[in-house]
Amino acid sequence: MLFVDRAPEHADAGQISRGSLSAIWEWINNSLLPRMAQEYCDSMKKVLVMDDPRQARSIAAAFQLKVAKSLESTLVAEESVERVRNGLAEYTTSRAAIDDLRKIMSALLARDAIVAFNAALTPKIDKFEGEVLVTVRALLDEFAAKHPQAVPFALEMVARRLKTPWQLVRLATKIARGGNASEIAATRYAAGVSMVLDHLDGQRLALGHALKGERVQVAKDILTEIYAVEGALRKRIGGLEGTDWGRRLDSLMAAVAADLETELRSLPAGTHHVLSSSKPRCHQPASGMLENLRGMLGRGHRQGA
């Protein structure tokens, strides 16, 4: 549930990049706990030959706890963090791998609670409001009280069940009475806003891939969601402009506009009308697909969702 096929730099606070795992394992194996890692591998080989999955899980859990405890004491002083960063650099060029290492530590320390929280959630959430929101909020509050460092993982699990991903921000906006960005930022679930922006960035990348592959209908669906997320954030978070969230949203939407202008030049002209309808209830200019998109993006800042 926690691993994603995204670069470490693009994984949000509740995600761990699969691309970091090999480098992290090599560092654990050669630098952090070389002797324990070798003993772990030797023990696992034996139980795998014996086809004993229960014993294998037990051995893995014990080793994971040792790794987590070792990381907990290692990733304290800035000097130690820099040594770890340099050690990881021997196995990966990504400086963000250490962020994934911290996430792994948090996930391992709260492993059982994360599994239990995931099991307690309903498989699918069509509308994140009313009784459903209250129930999930109660589960989160209980989880956060015991494992505050692992809250992003719990938020990620909630987000993956939402039919409408932007609704994750309701966990924070419902707590903040005034609904202003500063009040929302002070809540324990404020990370949900950043995670929605991360989702928006992922959709921007997906839009670019769809356009490059001339999958116009897919691009239209992605573009429609992008506008819906933007509209919802601007409508539901007061004072968004001027905040880090607002500046990031502006930057993402500007990137969407630039990507569209670049990629649409290579699409067959007959397909442009499909994308021009992806911004609902907007008047469409009469000439040119790029003009349509510029107009749609300009009006996107005023439309709620």
Give pLDDT tens digits for 210-235: 988 888 889 989 999 999 999 999 99
Confidence category of residue 134, pLDDT binned at 50, 70, 90 = very high
Give the pTM: 0.83
> Which is higher by pLDDT, 91 or 274?
91
Q: Please state which of the ranges 81-90, 180-189, 269-278 shows the lowest mean pLDDT.
A: 269-278
- Classify residue 148 by its DSSP letter: G
- Residue 214 pLDDT: 83
- Residue 282 pLDDT: 41
CB 3 within 8 A of CB 10: no
- Residue 276 pLDDT: 54
152 contact partners, CB below 8 Å, separation of at least 6: 12, 13, 14, 103, 191, 195
Confidence category of residue 274, pLDDT binned at 50, 70, 90 = low
Task: Break the chain into its structural domains and give their ranges.
Answer: 3-109, 192-300
- Averaged confidence pLDDT in the chain: 87
Half-sphere exposure of 78 (CA within 13 A, CB side): 0
- Classify residue 123 by its DSSP letter: S
302/234 Cα distance (integer angstroms) = 8
- Residue 271 pLDDT: 59
Tens digit of each residue's pLDDT (9 = 90 or more) over 114-131: 999 999 999 999 999 999
